[in-house]
Amino acid sequence: MKSSVEQLDPTRVKISVEVPYAELKPSVDEAYKTIGAQVTVPGFRKGKVPARIIDQRIGRPAVIQEAVNNGLDDFYRNAVEEHDLKPMGQPEVEISEVPGLDGTEDGELGFTVEVDVRPEVELPAYDTINIEVDPIEVTDADVDAELEQLRTRFGTLVAVDRPAAKDDFVTLDLVATIDDEEIDTASDISYQVGAGTMLEGMDEALDGLSAGETTTFETTFAGGEHAGEQGTVKITLSAVKERELPEADDDFAQLASEFDTIAELREDLREQAGKAKETEQGVQARDKVLEHLMETLDVPVPAKIVTDEVERHLEAENRSDDDEHRKEVTEETERNLRTQFILDAVSEAENVEVSQPELIEYLISASQQYGMNPNEFAQMLDSSGQVNALVGEVSRRKALAAVLAGATVKDTAGNVVDMEAFTSAGDDAEDADADAQSAEAADEAPAEAAEEN
């Protein structure tokens, strides 16, 4: 077999392949066996029909076509491996020459394949990257915020006789309709006003509404079979409650912690706030390192991969005609692809490997984001073929940590910040939000999903 590669653009190639008939013959022999097992010819048992009879009854071209179809993928993959290509998406194949149609065993199978490939990425020396981050400063306000969160955990909900306001907890019934047709209903829903976790426009509708009152509002449904459609929602409020917090005194310190006094508790909260600030500083440094790579490296993206992913995304949202949203999704898709290409290049350069404990740790962290049991989350990923995408995401995390470890990080006061503790603990659960931004691995990883295995 002979093959050559023509670079059509930085992310697309044309592979030309010539396969002598001798190399195609095993596929031809297998095709005769396959067809022979499927046809019934009087006087011959199934699977024992001679090739010449199959040629007479079925036709030699049908046999050759079966052989070509069966052998094409292996020939293509051999060419990909020979030229060290990293294909993405579906290849476009054109067959130019088919041997053996006349019954001879001469000639060659000739075909070309156009396919998108991962671009080459020239990485900089990590020690040439200089990043500036905010200094760590723990203020009394930070301690107060930590204490407020702790008091909130021990707060109690108390019914109030007044209109609902931001941060109140309400109980409500809900009916959703589209063109006067009811599409959903729910009763006794508990919701915190201002949380923004339900329907667009719901927080505004609840603000100022009293128990026993009903109101309606227009919204765009975000999920389910009516995603992207406009509709009307009627809500009826049955209760308004506010959270009462315990006094921040010694009694509370003894209730909520192992400390005897509020002063001791505040000192411990100061330490916790300091650790949280260190994590925030590390996340900021990591994000800025990634941003530096994105801004300084000219990494092209395959236009067809981007177009296909954008169309899939918009069709799922039923927003194919929304040009403004199309532009936003296109930009985000291109950024995700560039991020993956860069971090995959780092991973390859650094020989990054993902161990099973690392994968399990990340899986547990990711499952918490979705509020799922880790075992159920793992089964869902496995059944949807997303395990490789998860491995790729962990590999990219480690790759970015490697770049951060080699970069120079200083705070705005000019002090060098040691990133060793942060990079060595790159799988901490509190990093889950920032991790999602690096690739949106599961449902937002077009390069991983499109890559040919």
Instruction: Show which of 87, 114, 141 is a domain's final residue.
Output: 114
Residue 303 in domain: yes
Total domains, the chain:
3
In a domain, 7, yes or no: yes
pLDDT 10s digits, 75-93: 999 999 999 999 998 999 9
Q: Amino acid identity, residue 12? A: R
Domain assignment of residue 187, yes or no:
yes
- Mean pLDDT confidence for 31-42: 87
pLDDT tens for each residue of 167-210: 999 999 999 999 989 999 999 999 999 999 889 999 999 999 99
Question: Do residue 234 and residue 272 come from a single domain?
Answer: no
308 and 237 co-located in one domain: no
The boundaries of the domain holding residue 216 are 155-243
Distance CA 243, CA 152 (A): 8
Q: Is the pLDDT of residue 344 over 90?
A: yes
pLDDT in tens, 394-423: 999 999 999 999 999 999 999 999 988 788
Mean pLDDT of 340-361: 94
Domain CATH code at residue 24: 3.30.70.1050
Question: What's the pLDDT score for residue 385?
Answer: 86
Residue 451 lies in a domain: no
For residues 411 and 363, state if they share a domain: yes
In a domain, 377, yes or no: yes
Does any domain span residue 452?
A: no
Looking at the structure, do residues 226 and 364 belong to the same domain, yes or no? no
How does residue 148 score in pLDDT terms, banded at 50, 70 and 90? Answer: very high
Instruction: Reduce the DSSP state of residue 100 to 3 states and report it.
Output: coil
Q: How many residues does the chain have?
A: 453
Alpha carbon distance 339, 284 (integer Å): 17
232 and 276, same structural domain? no
**436 has pLDDT over 60:** no
Other CB atoms within a 10 A radius of the CB of residue 410 amount to: 15
Whether residue 183 sits in one domain with residue 266: no
Residue 343 inside a domain? The answer is: yes
DSSP codes of every residue in 131-143: EEE------HHHH
Do 273 and 344 share a structural domain?
yes
**pLDDT higher than 50, residue 4:** yes
237 and 256, same domain (yes or no): no
pLDDT(94) > 50: yes
The answer to whether the beta carbons of residues 183 and 193 sit under 8 Å apart is no
My answer on whether 257 and 234 are in the same domain is no
Is residue 266 within 8 Å of residue 248, measured between CB atoms? no
Looking at residue 346, which CATH number applies to its domain? Answer: 1.10.3120
Domain contains 448: no
Identify the domain boundary among 187, 216, 243: 243
The contacts of residue 423 (CB under 8 Å, 6+ apart) are: 282, 401, 402, 404, 405
Same structural domain, 332 and 189: no
Distance CA 49, CA 32 (A): 9
Judge whether residue 155 has pLDDT over 70.
yes
Same domain, 357 and 397: yes
| pTM for the whole structure | 0.73
Indicate whether 231 and 272 sit together in one domain: no
Torsion of CA 37, 38, 41, 46, to 10 degrees: 30
CATH code at position 218: 3.10.50.40
- 3-state SS, 192-235, equals ECCCCCCCCCHHHHHCCCCCCCEEEEEEECCCHHHCCCEEEEEE
**Residue 445 above 80 pLDDT?**
no
Task: Name residue 374's amino acid.
Answer: P
At residue 115, the pLDDT reads 96
Last residue of a domain, one of 188, 212, 243: 243
Share of residues in the chain with pLDDT > 70 (%): 94
